[in-house]
Structure 1
Amino acid sequence: MAQHLPISRRHVLLGAAAFGVPAVLTGCGSDAPGPASGDGGPGTVTIGSNASDEIPKKTLETVVGGFTQATTKINTVDHNTFQENINRYLRGTPEDVFTWFAGYRMQFFAEQGLAVDISDVWREIGGDYTQAFKDQSTGTDGKQYFVPFTYYPWAVFYRKSLWQEKGYEPPATLDELTALARKMRADGLTPIAFADKDGWPAMGTFDILNMRMNGYDFHVSLMGGKESWTDPRVRQVFDTWRGLMEFHQPAALGRTWQEAGQSLAQKKTGMYLLGMFVAQQFPEADRDDLDFFTFPEINPTYGTDAIDAPIDGYMISAKARNVDGAKALLKHFAQASSQNVATKLDPGMLAASSKADTSGYSALQKRGAELVSQATHIAQFLDRDTRPDFASTVMIPSLQSFVGDPDEIDSLLTSIEKQKANIFR
């Protein structure tokens, strides 16, 4: 499950400066040149990618284009499809390298024998990462299975020019947030942009409310199946969330996160709780107008000490046909120069390598790195901090059910707990 990253504020600043079909993930492929030729031949390294949005897709293609030790072939699949089918994909005919997530989600597949031990790779690249990043790349057996590439914090984003015009100030408490939302509504704005068509965005709202109200340790324990979903503390989270629903963008189940992000960019909504990748939905000319604040305090016992800051990276599938080439590619991803390319092309990402050049970071990226450095506890995100099957088959439909009908809390939590008991045996 998620780990408490042992990161001091300075440590993270130095360390910095979100799914296939049963057999083969079908998507749009692209090739990057190299000295070898052929499709899937001995000189080719294949990559299964969930980077389906325009900016992440271009970023991966550009970074992989700088890899000269072998020909590469990228199989890009819709992000959500990739995530929801990853288990069957890895047991079918996966590519050599695949995009994935740090922490619990990496450990789960390592324990299943579906990933290659890359401890030898880490002996070469380890000096480029803080211990915290290595911890998040390490399986329960003490071996490494993951190479961190980029990460991003979740926060509440807004347009500075709109807030200056209206005289809004970042709230420090839930009461202040509610008062701000009422003022925005009176000003003709939809206070909080919100979307959950894809199932996962609402997880971020649950995460932050649970960590703010009940603390990081309880949240991690709940994600690990060790707490009851019918616990009064969990019910209070949903009750608090229900109280905020009147300020959320309506009809969220029919809206993608991209569309909600565009509403923020167009100044139709006042703020948006999401990952820093929301910057991808802003025209380049408007990105300097994007800022954020960490979700405000609810319970003084925990303050604002915890955030979600997911780490994205790469693993090698156990069925890889070109393990040597795959390891060479992972070393390429670990290079600071590769991550510098990524953070320059993608305004919503931060480099995981401690040797990356952060001097070219935008003001938003610098603020993002600072936010992570100040957090005492860092979670990886709900669907990364728990079992994949629990996240996809229980939590996605459950949270969508809540978003659709926030008044049915007790029966919903009873259902989640019953299903959890069957999965976490």
Structure 2
Amino acid sequence: MSRRSLLRGAAAGACMVTLPALLSACGHGPGGNRNQVTVGSNASDAVPRKAYAAAFEAYRKQTGKQVKVNTKDHNDFQENINRYLQGTPDDVFMWFAGYRMQYFAQKGLLTEISDVWASFSGFSDAIKEQSSYDGKQYFVPYYYYPWAVFHRRSLFQQRGYQQPRTWDQFIALAKRMHKDGTPVAFCDKDGWPAMGTFDYINLRLNGYDFHKALMAGEEAWNDNRVKKVFDTWRELMPYYQKGALGRTWEEAGQSLQQRRTGMVVLGMQHPGTQFPDDERDDIDFFAFPEIDPSHGQDAVEAPVDGFLAAGKAKNIDGAKELLKWLGTPEAEDIYLRHDPGNVAVNSGADTSGYSALQKKSVELVAGAKQISQFLDRDTRPDFASTVMIQALQDFIRDPKDVDGLCNRIERQKKTIFSQPVG
């Protein structure tokens, strides 16, 4: 995930384009400007935007090459990515590892960069696999961030809350928080945040192999195992803050920062960007609780973000040169100095300046037996965007009719997965 997916907004960025021209790159004429690489960015929030600007400025100083960044609203970028890549995309664009990348490689919308990867070091075989399709590389990983249950350390200390390990302990804590006037933060206006909770309950109940098969369309969504996911999730819903479908992830993070909520299931970068610098040390987290002991807390959602070269890039040589630099530890170090809400992918990156939160995140991921990307990254994008966003929002709106919900998802899944990717 990521993530990740949808449904609003005006375009932002250097081109100042508006719908329906959303996500069209600023043109450079036939062949493009060979002294400049354009980058399509979904980093519309202040912290990552500043961090990327620092990285690209360092590249300019080292090479003398210009990087023109066209920043768009994060959700609009994701919603329109297919049209963007088939139109007039930037040379390089920000996107996600795993299935979400492989989907576009399969459609022929990416430029292969196996030659760029030949110069890389510091990436694990697992990361290389997440960056590849059909044995060829297309993706340069930049950072990852685990999903977990985040909270303010000081609030837990003040009220004597204990980090839960099991689902029963988690529900007891949520009930107590709700009674104390600080319910569990919850949001899904953006369409994707609730996917993280679904994924974790599914992973904890049914295990990683079932999760992968379900995302691949190989398991039925009206299977009793899926219904149990929703039934289990429903136990938590009375303790959520109200109005989730009208709340963005930024607003959920702000409510945690303002001590109006007690904890939230999000990625590490999400609450981090909503806390001022002098309060980030107060952010803590615990792994999503165990539900079935046979699966424990084995799996961790840890999406990987990075860069790709568009299939229709005008300046392919410049794009590959930039991607080669972005795959270095130095490039990751520069970015993470300005955005401590993420963790470097390259093993050669400098971790000496990591915050306690970053160090704990590294330990969480290192100790995981399986790593998942996120629902909208582990499955077909068309299924995630046209079926699962609406389905999870329907469940949030009315969590009672699980049978009807699962039957609808399965019918739609069969239709989508019967269609070719192209």
TM-score (norm 1): 0.91
Q: Displacement of 1:186 after TM fit?
A: 2.5
2:41 maps to a residue whose letter is S
Question: Are the counterparts in 2 of residues 63 and 342 from structure 1 also a CA contact under 8 Å?
Answer: yes
Q: Displacement of 1:270 after TM fit?
A: 0.9
Aligned to 1:130: 124
2:95 maps to a residue whose letter is W
Question: Are the counterparts in 2 of residues 220 and 385 from structure 1 also a CA contact under 8 Å?
Answer: yes
For the pair 1:323 / 2:316, whether they are aligned, the reply is: yes
Distance 1:408 1:83 in 2: 30
Aligned to 1:7: none
For the pair 1:145 / 2:138, whether they are aligned, the reply is: yes
Superimposed CA distance per residue, residues 328-362 of structure 1 (whole angstroms, 9 cap, x where no aligned partner) = 11112111111112112112110111110000000
Distance 1:274 1:306 in 2: 15
Aligned to 1:94: 89
Question: Are the counterparts in 2 of residues 117 and 143 from structure 1 also a CA contact under 8 Å?
Answer: yes
1:94 maps to a residue whose letter is P
For the pair 1:391 / 2:376, whether they are aligned, the reply is: no
Q: 1:83 aligns with which of 73, 78, 84?
A: 78
Distance 2:294 2:50 in 1: 43
Aligned to 2:230: 238
Aligned to 2:297: 304
Aligned to 1:186: 179
Match of 1:312, SS state, is strand
Question: Are the counterparts in 2 of residues 20 and 77 from structure 1 also a CA contact under 8 Å?
Answer: no
Aligned to 1:168: 161
Superimposed CA distance per residue, residues 49-85 of structure 1 (whole angstroms, 9 cap, x where no aligned partner) = 1111111111111111111332221111111111111
1:67 maps to a residue whose letter is Y
Question: Are the counterparts in 2 of residues 106 and 146 from structure 1 also a CA contact under 8 Å?
Answer: yes
Q: Displacement of 1:188 after TM fit?
A: 2.3
Distance 2:11 2:173 in 1: 45
Aligned to 1:121: 116
2:388 maps to a residue whose letter is M
Distance 2:11 2:164 in 1: 45
Q: Displacement of 1:26 after TM fit?
A: 5.3
Aligned residue-pair number: 396
2:123 maps to a residue whose letter is Y
Aligned to 1:204: 196
For the pair 1:259 / 2:251, whether they are aligned, the reply is: yes
Aligned to 1:8: none
Question: Are the counterparts in 2 of residues 55 and 280 from structure 1 also a CA contact under 8 Å?
Answer: yes
Structure 1: gaps of 5 or more residues: 2-17, 31-37
Q: Spell out structure 1 runs of 4+ moving beyond 3 A.
A: none
Q: Displacement of 1:185 after TM fit?
A: 2.2
Distance 2:273 2:130 in 1: 26
Aligned to 2:347: 354
Superimposed CA distance per residue, residues 369-407 of structure 1 (whole angstroms, 9 cap, x where no aligned partner) = 110001100000000000010010111111111111111
Distance 2:210 2:289 in 1: 19
Superimposed CA distance per residue, residues 135-186 of structure 1 (whole angstroms, 9 cap, x where no aligned partner) = 11111x1000000001000000111111011111111111111111122222
Q: 1:64 aligns with which of 56, 59, 64?
A: 56
Q: Displacement of 1:20 after TM fit?
A: 11
TM-score (norm 2): 0.91
Match of 1:414, SS state, is helix
Q: Displacement of 1:216 after TM fit?
A: 0.5
Question: Are the counterparts in 1 of residues 42 and 94 from structure 2 also a CA contact under 8 Å?
Answer: yes
CA distance 1:242–1:301, change in 2 (3 Å): same
Match of 1:29, SS state, is coil
For the pair 1:28 / 2:13, whether they are aligned, the reply is: yes
Distance 1:381 1:166 in 2: 32
Instruction: Give the root-mean-square deviation of aligned CA atoms.
Output: 1.7
Distance 1:105 1:123 in 2: 23
1:384 maps to a residue whose letter is R
Distance 1:134 1:162 in 2: 40
Q: Displacement of 1:19 after TM fit?
A: 7.8
Distance 1:20 1:264 in 2: 23
1:181 maps to a residue whose letter is A
Distance 2:397 2:324 in 1: 45
